[in-house]
Structure 1
C-alpha cells in the first residue's frame, strides 16, 4: 500500500511540477477563465471515449479468457481490466498491470499457466494493433512533425516505434518457443535455489515446468484461432482510435475548434510512442513534454496548459481514480467475507 501511494505521489509531483515550471509565466486567471467557460459536454464526450476504451479492453480480455474459463463474467473482466490500468499507471514501463491481472485471474479459478497465455495473447494483440495503427498514422502524419522545429522529438518517436516492434517480436518468440521460455524462467529461478532446500527447489521447478506446459498449450491453441484473433484485433483497433481521438474532445471543449482532427490524432499517437520510452510511472514528464511540444505548434499558451491538464486527467488520472476504487471495492468485499466466516 505504501509503495502504491509513493508511486502515485511521484507521478502527480512530476506531472504538476512540469506543468508549473513549463507554464510559470502564464496568467492563472486566464487559464481558470478558460476552464469555467469550457464546454462540459465535449469534455464528458472525452471521458466517455475513455470509458469505452476501458470497456473494449475488458471485452477483449473477456473474449480471450472465455477460451479457458467460461465462468468468468464480463463484470469480472472489467474489474481485472481496471486493476491492470491502475497498476500500469503507477509502475515504471507499465510493468505492474499484468502481474496484478494474473493474480486476479488465478483468484477467479484460472490456472497460472493458462492465465499467463491469456495475458500474453492479449498484450501481443494490443501491441501489434498499436504498431500497425501508429504506422498508418505515421505514414500520413509524419509531415506534421516536419512542419515544427522538433527533429529530436521525431527521432525519439521513431525509437519508441522501433522498440514497440522489438517487444512484439520478443513476446511472440516467447509464446511460440517453449525452449526460449523455459530458458528464461529457469535462469530466473536459479537464484532462488540459494535460499531454499534442494528438495523444495526441485518441487518448485517441477511446478513451474507444469505451468509452462499449460502456458504453451493455451498460447499455441489460441494463436491458431483465426476468429478469436480477428475479433480481438478489430475491438483493439476501435479501442485505440477512441483513445487517439480524446485530445480532439478536449480541444473542442476549450474552444479550439478550427483544427485538423487527423493532425490531433497523429500528435496523440506520437505522444504515446514517445512516452513509452520514459521509465517513470505513466511516462510522467515525457508525456507532458511531448504534448507541450506538439500541441504547442497549434495552441496558444493558455489553451495549451488547460488542454494538457484536462487531457492528462481524462487519459491518466482517471485510471488511478477508477482503478483504485475498483480495488477498494474488492478489498471491502473480501474483508466482509472474512468477517462472515469468522462469525460462523
Structure 2
C-alpha cells in the first residue's frame, strides 16, 4: 500500500468515525455520556487497556508459532512487530481485509522468501477465521433465546450477518480443499465481468485465480501436516479471544455495573458475536455495524447512557488504540525494511 493510499484510507476512517460520533451524540444525551465516562473507575480502565495489550501480544505470538519449523531468516522480534501491523490495516480497509498482503510483503522484506511469507500470513488468517467463527457459532447456539429476547426487532440483521460470515468461511474451506474450485471462481469472475464497469477488474482477478488457489491449498495442506503448529495457534487464539472479549466485562465494572459470574460467558460470546456478524459492513473496521451490535446485545445490563459510554470506551480501546499500535509497528517495520530494499520478492 503506497503512502498516498494509506493516508487516504486513514482520512476516510476518521471521517467515518466523526460521522458515527455525530449520529451517536444526536441520538443520546451528550452530558449524560460525558458524566458517566468521567465517573469511570480509572483502575478498571487501565485493566481493560492491559487486556488489549495482552491481546496484541498473543495475536503476534501466533505468527511466531506458524513460523516455527520454516527455514526462514525472520527474527522473533520482526515477526512479532509485523504481526501487530494487522490492527492498522484491518482497521482502515473495508471488511477488515487489508492486513494479509502488507504483512506478506514485509515478512518477505525482513527475511522470509515469498512462499514462506504467504504461508505465515495465510495460515494465521485461516486459524483465526475458523476459531472466531466456531467461537461465535457456539455463542449463537447457547444464547439464541437471550439474543432474541433483547434484539427481536433486529433478528434478521443478526441472522443475515451470521450467515454471510459463515458463507465466507465455507468459501475459504472450499478454496482450500477442493481442487476444481478455481474453475468455479473463474467462471464467476467471467460472469460478473460481462457487466461493463466491472470487466477490467474481473479480468484481472480471473488472471490471478490459479496462483491464489494454488498457494491457498498449499498453505492449508502445510498447516494440517504441522499438527503442533495448528494446535498451538488454535489454543492461543482461543485464550486470546477470551481475554479480548472480556474487555466489556472490565468496562462494566469500571462504570459500577455488577455483572454476575453466570453472565461472564454470555458477554464474552456476544462481544465476539458483535464483531463477526458485522464484518460484512463495507466500512473501515466495520465501523457503525459493530457499535450498533454492541449496544443492542448489551442493552439489558444498564441504562442506555451507560451502555453507550462503555461502547465508546470499548471501541477506543479495542479499535483506535489498536490502530495506533499497528501504525507504530508499521513505521518501525518500514524503517527496518530499508536495509532489505534490494531483496528479491521470490
* 1:85 is the counterpart of 2:82: no
In structure 2, the gaps of 5 or more residues are 191-198, 341-346
The within-5 A match list for 1:56-71 is 56-71=58-73
Aligned length: 325
* 1:327 is the counterpart of 2:318: no
In the TM superposition, what whole-angstrom CA distance separates every residue of 1:247-305 from its partner, at most 9, and x where no partner exists? 11111112222453233223312311222120111111111222222223332132123
How many Å apart are 1:14 and its aligned residue? 2.7
In the TM superposition, what whole-angstrom CA distance separates every residue of 1:51-77 from its partner, at most 9, and x where no partner exists? 222211111111112232453233212
Partner of 2:300: 297
Given that 1:72 and 1:108 are in contact with CA atoms closer than 8 Å, whether structure 2 keeps it comes out as yes
Moved more, 307-316 or 210-219: 210-219
Partner of 2:121: 119
Considering only CA atoms, is the larger Rg found in Structure 1 or Structure 2?
1
* 1:43 is the counterpart of 2:37: no
The within-5 A match list for 1:201-212 is none
Change (3 A) 1:88 1:164: same
* 1:318 is the counterpart of 2:312: no
Given that 2:72 and 2:116 are in contact with CA atoms closer than 8 Å, whether structure 1 keeps it comes out as no
Given that 1:31 and 1:302 are in contact with CA atoms closer than 8 Å, whether structure 2 keeps it comes out as yes
CA distance in 2: counterparts of 1:24 and 1:214, whole angstroms: 48
- In the superposition, the TM-score normalised over structure 1's length comes to 0.82
Given that 1:8 and 1:90 are in contact with CA atoms closer than 8 Å, whether structure 2 keeps it comes out as yes
Change (3 A) 1:12 1:215: closer
Partner of 1:72: 74
Given that 1:18 and 1:288 are in contact with CA atoms closer than 8 Å, whether structure 2 keeps it comes out as no
In structure 1, the gaps of 5 or more residues are 196-203, 339-344
In the TM superposition, what whole-angstrom CA distance separates every residue of 1:73-112 from its partner, at most 9, and x where no partner exists? 3321221112122101100111211001110111123232
Given that 1:114 and 1:218 are in contact with CA atoms closer than 8 Å, whether structure 2 keeps it comes out as no
- In the superposition, the TM-score normalised over structure 2's length comes to 0.82
The within-5 A match list for 1:272-283 is 272-283=275-286
